[in-house]
Amino acid sequence: MQLVPVIAIDGPSASGKGTVAQRVAEALGFHYLDSGALYRLTALAAVRRGVSWDDEAGVAGVAATLDARFDGDRIVLDERDASSAIRSEDIGVGASRVAALPAVRAALLQRQRGYARMPGLVADGRDMGSVVFPEAQLKVFLTASAAVRAERRYKQLAGRGEQADLAAITADLEARDARDRARTVAPLAQQPDARLLDTDGLGVEAAVEQVLAWWRERG
Ligand code: DC
């Protein structure tokens, strides 16, 4: 068992796991790690440095030397605010591409583990419970149907005033899920020891409450 308490929340894109993980962290006074942001930052930094997303050694080099930090709600890359730049659909696709490269995942591993600090950590991603924090005290696999997730992403984009097309979003989500599940390293999958939280028809509050209830159950 690791000394620092860790809650690992994994699941597919747009399942709402980021929002739930953040709220659980707030409720418990724990630190929060958005591991997807690290893959997104890597994809963005690669573009800025002129490194192609399929150049494994090149992108791993970018990941290993990533000058990025989480500063409250802001995500800073090379001393510039990259919070919205990393949320574009294009960078999402890039993140999924670079995340399939073993050397890139290896380059980000220790960095992710470094976020486990007292009094505890809530980490969300695809392999928090399987690879990064296999000894997490609580593992949750948070999911929702593709239709519900596409709808949530659509509202998110529309809310930011970005152009959004529901059919394109659904197709993109499905393609990204397929890539995340099919890759040979750390594929997206529910761990045998993870609790399943299906959020179709479940609001954020109820999802947060469920995770907190599981956490209390663990004592
Ligand atoms: O959660 P997200 O959409 O911000 O993640 C972006 C991409 O990064 C996603 O396609 C999968 C990948 N990812 C990963 O492979 N492992 C993680 N722990 C987190 C994200």
Verify whether ligand 1 is closer than 6 Å to residue 129 (CB atom): no
Residue 193's domain is classified under what CATH number? 3.40.50.300
pLDDT tens-digit map of 162-215:
888 999 999 988 988 888 888 888 888 899 999 999 999 899 999 999 999 999
* Structural domain includes residue 156: yes
Average pLDDT over residues 78-96: 93
Rounded mean pLDDT of the chain?
Answer: 93
Give yes or no for a contact between 96 and 183, defined as CB atoms under 8 angstroms apart: no
CA distance 141 to 59: 28
Verify whether ligand 1 is closer than 6 Å to residue 105 (CB atom): no
Lookup: tokens for 92: 């999402």
Report the nearest atom of ligand 1 relative to the CA of 96: 10
* Structural domain includes residue 1: no
Q: Is the peptide bond before 119 cis (omega within 30 degrees of 0)?
A: yes
Q: Which of 4, 13, 6, 3 is nearest to 211 (CA)?
A: 6
Atom 4 of ligand 1, residue of closest alpha carbon: 36
CA distance 5 to 43: 30
Average pLDDT over residues 154-164: 85
pLDDT tops 90 at residue 114: yes
Strand, helix or coil for residue 8: strand
pLDDT tens-digit map of 120-147:
999 999 999 999 999 999 999 999 998 9
In this structure, the number of other CB atoms found within 10 A of the CB of residue 37 comes to 21
Verify whether ligand 1 is closer than 6 Å to residue 10 (CB atom): no
Atom 20 of ligand 1, residue of closest alpha carbon: 36
Residue 110's pLDDT band (boundaries 50, 70, 90)?
Answer: very high
* Structural domain includes residue 218: no
Residue 73's pLDDT band (boundaries 50, 70, 90)?
Answer: confident
pLDDT of residue 2: 57
pLDDT tops 60 at residue 89: yes
* Structural domain includes residue 219: no
Range of the domain at 131: 6-212
CA distance 67 to 80: 10
* Structural domain includes residue 159: yes
CA distance 87 to 202: 24
Which among 17, 35, 42, 149 is the best mutation to test ligand 1's pocket, defined by most ligand atoms within 8 Å of the CB?
Answer: 35
pLDDT tops 80 at residue 57: yes
pLDDT tens-digit map of 45-56:
999 999 999 999
* Structural domain includes residue 59: yes
C-alpha 99 – ligand 1 centre gap (Å):
7
Higher pLDDT, 64 or 153: 64
- Look at the chain and report how many structural domains it folds into: 1
Lookup: tokens for 218: 């663990």
* Structural domain includes residue 14: yes
* Structural domain includes residue 104: yes
pLDDT tops 60 at residue 1: no
Alpha helices in 50-145 (DSSP H): 56-64, 89-98, 102-113
